[in-house]
Structures are given as C-alpha cells and as structure tokens.
A = this chain, B = another copy of it.
C-alpha cells in the first residue's frame, strides 16, 4: 500500500482518520497514527488552549510518528488556532471549508504539510494553484458538512483525478478494505475515513452517539440544511424538526433559530440522541450491529480486507 500519500506524510498505510468535531481528540488521532495511518485532531470543536493540549498529548502518545490537525477555515478563531499549530510544529494540517489560497503558503513557511478538502474538481484545481501538497475529495455520502454539488464519491474521484496531478485522497462512503481498493482503482492514492473511526473506542464521542450510529439502517442519514450549509444528519428529533421546517419552506433564518447553539456538542459529545445534532456518514449502515471497536482492530481489518480484495482481483 505504498503510494504518494504514504510517501508525502511518512506513514505506512494511506489511511487517514478525518478530523471530526467532538470525535477526533488526541486519543483517536494518536491511535490511528500509532497503527500506521495518519490521525488528525479535529480543531473544529476546540479553542486554542484545548487544541494546544490535544497536540501536546498526541505528540507524547505517537512518539516520532506523524499526525495532523484538521482546520475548518470558516472558524472565527482560525488565525489563533493556526498560531497554535505553528508554535507546536504540527507536521500536517488538513484545511477545509474555505479557500486553499488563504493559509497554504503560511503553513509551508512554518514547515507544515498541507492537504485541502474539496467537493468538486473546480476546487481541486484551486488547490493545485494554491500549492497544497495533497487534495482530499469528499463525496455526498460523507457525514456532517458537505459540498453543494452533491457529487457522490464514485463520480467525484474520477473528476478530481482528471483535474489535478496532486496526490489524491478519497473520502465519503469508505469504511471497508474493499472500498479502499475500489478508490485506488478510480485513481485515489489514499483514503480518509470519518464514520468508521468516529465509532471506535478511542473516539471522544459519547457512547450513546456511537451506539445509535451503529444501529442505523439504509436511509437513516440524509443531507439537510441546503439553504444554509448542506449537512448530513442522522434521523431523530433534531433531524425531524429541521426536515419539517424545510418541508414547509422555512427560510435560512428560521432554520438557524431551530438549530440554536451547541447542537452538535449536545448530540455527539454529550449523547443527547433525541435533541442533539447527530452527524455521521451514510456508510454507517454498513457497520450496523458491530461493537465499538478499537482503532487497532479497525486498522487490522481494513488492511486484511484490502489484501483479500486485491487477491480476488487477480482472478478477474
């Protein structure tokens, strides 16, 4: 599984754990990096002090293995958080939800490798112009915030592959070793998994959230909030109130009022399954009935499945 992505980040396996709000603390990031992948701390739900603490603990846990931070550029305190990653000499930053032009040069000046998350080939080209080191192309199946084009991973990866020569990481709908190989067939050189890692023991999400997400059927996550920022949510009380409002034609302002403050913390971190905002990828239903596994178990299964799928292709 050596690719330009493993080379770029100095990792053994081209498997990256997405930096997810309320899930991706230092424990999850460190476990993935220790298992040979690249773990990302999710700065989206952290202030500067909390982020600094997580970086420091992650570094201690991984030793000399690389790890990274996911930084949603839309955050009001993004500049402050960027100062932290530079001061702490984080080896890799994944930027998202903003322009790749804004921070790439600055991060490079601080010796930090940069990947940027896109949902279209148009933005992939902007990544190349901005000089990022790798591009993450994330499809419609992904949990949480999502692209406006609603392009699925199957359609997106070939489009981005044509649009840029950058190392390409596929994301959205990937939770098995078979899917990793399928993504490589489409031209990806690595994968970013969110859902699968959000539901491990090392994820900082609440047990209630994990158990709910390990019990979903097909169709139990949907993309809503297109009038604000399209977001994939899990069915439940929070989801219902948004869907009902949208069905009667509620405006963006009305939707903002329904969402209120702290909804994703309440749902994911505090485990208020009925009233909190629950974000997970569509692929969760493929994991139905599983236990909350360790990162080590997940990484082992992914690599075994990948190897087996690769053997089967020899018979095609």
Chain B nearest CB from A242 CB (Å) reads 14
Measured CA separation A222–B150 after assembly (Å):
8
Chain B nearest CB from A60 CB (Å) reads 35
Q: Is the CB of B186 within 8 A of A173?
A: no
Chain B nearest CB from A183 CB (Å) reads 8
Measured CA separation A153–B156 after assembly (Å):
12
Measured CA separation A285–B120 after assembly (Å):
11
Question: Which segment, of A21-29, A72-80, A174-182, A205-213, faces chain B?
Answer: A174-182
Q: Is the CB of A148 within 8 A of B179?
A: no
Residue of B nearest to A161 (CB): B178
Chain B nearest CB from A245 CB (Å) reads 9
Measured CA separation A148–B220 after assembly (Å):
11
Chain B nearest CB from A58 CB (Å) reads 30
A10 at the interface (CB under 8 A from B): no
A152 at the interface (CB under 8 A from B): yes
Residue of B nearest to A177 (CB): B185
A184 at the interface (CB under 8 A from B): yes
Q: Is the CB of B219 within 8 A of A120?
A: yes
Known: A139-B154, A219-B148, A248-B249. A159 touches B313 (CB 8 A): no
A158 at the interface (CB under 8 A from B): yes
A178: which of B139, B186, B223 is its contact (CB, 8 Å)? Answer: B186
Q: Which of A181-225 contact B (CB under 8 A)?
A: 181-187, 218-219, 222-223
Measured CA separation A265–B153 after assembly (Å):
31
Known: A218-B120, A248-B249, A313-B313. A178 touches B150 (CB 8 A): no
A294 at the interface (CB under 8 A from B): no
Contacts of A153 in B (CB 8 A): 152, 154
A155 at the interface (CB under 8 A from B): yes
Q: List 25 A-B contacts (CB under 8 A).
A: A139-B154, A140-B140, A141-B152, A150-B282, A151-B219, A152-B173, A152-B282, A154-B154, A154-B173, A154-B179, A155-B173, A155-B282, A155-B286, A158-B176, A158-B178, A159-B286, A178-B186, A178-B187, A179-B186, A185-B185, A185-B312, A248-B249, A310-B313, A310-B316, A314-B314
